[in-house]
């Protein structure tokens, strides 16, 4: 499912226009991204948790050449117990 299909599904289930569903989805994802970027974990009860994670600096190798990979920030998502149980139900 892509973003447009998700927006269509949200609009249908919530009885709202696609434009309103688009606005809601973008607002929610923007808030989550900003909070995680600022170092906060975002826990959505019954769904999961988005946490910032620092990947340490390392070295890589490609075609015999060694190069440095700088420290960088990424995000980790952990599904909630409820979500996992639903998937395996």
Shared domain for 46 and 61, answered yes or no, is yes
Shared domain for 48 and 9, answered yes or no, is no
Shared domain for 21 and 53, answered yes or no, is no
Is pLDDT at 15 greater than 90 in this prediction? Answer: yes
What is the C-alpha to C-alpha distance for residues 49 and 18, in angstroms, rounded to an integer?
Answer: 27
Which residue range is the domain that position 51 belongs to? Answer: 41-89
pLDDT digits (tens, 9 = 90+) for 31-52: 999 999 999 999 999 999 999 9
pLDDT digits (tens, 9 = 90+) for 16-32: 999 999 999 999 999 99
Alpha-carbon distances, residue 2 vs 5, 7, 20, 29 (angstroms): 5, 9, 17, 14
């Amino acid at each position: 499912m892509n973003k447009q299909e998700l927006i269509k599904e949200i609009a249908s289930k919530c009885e709202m226009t696609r434009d309103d569903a688009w606005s809601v989805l973008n607002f929610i994802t923007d808030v989550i991204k900003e909070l995680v970027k600022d170092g906060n974990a975002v826990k959505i009860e019954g769904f999961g948790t988005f946490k910032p994670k620092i990947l340490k600096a390392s070295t890589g190798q490609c075609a015999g050449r060694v190069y440095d990979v700088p420290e960088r920030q990424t995000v980790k998502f952990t599904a909630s117990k409820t979500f996992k149980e639903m998937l395996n139900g």
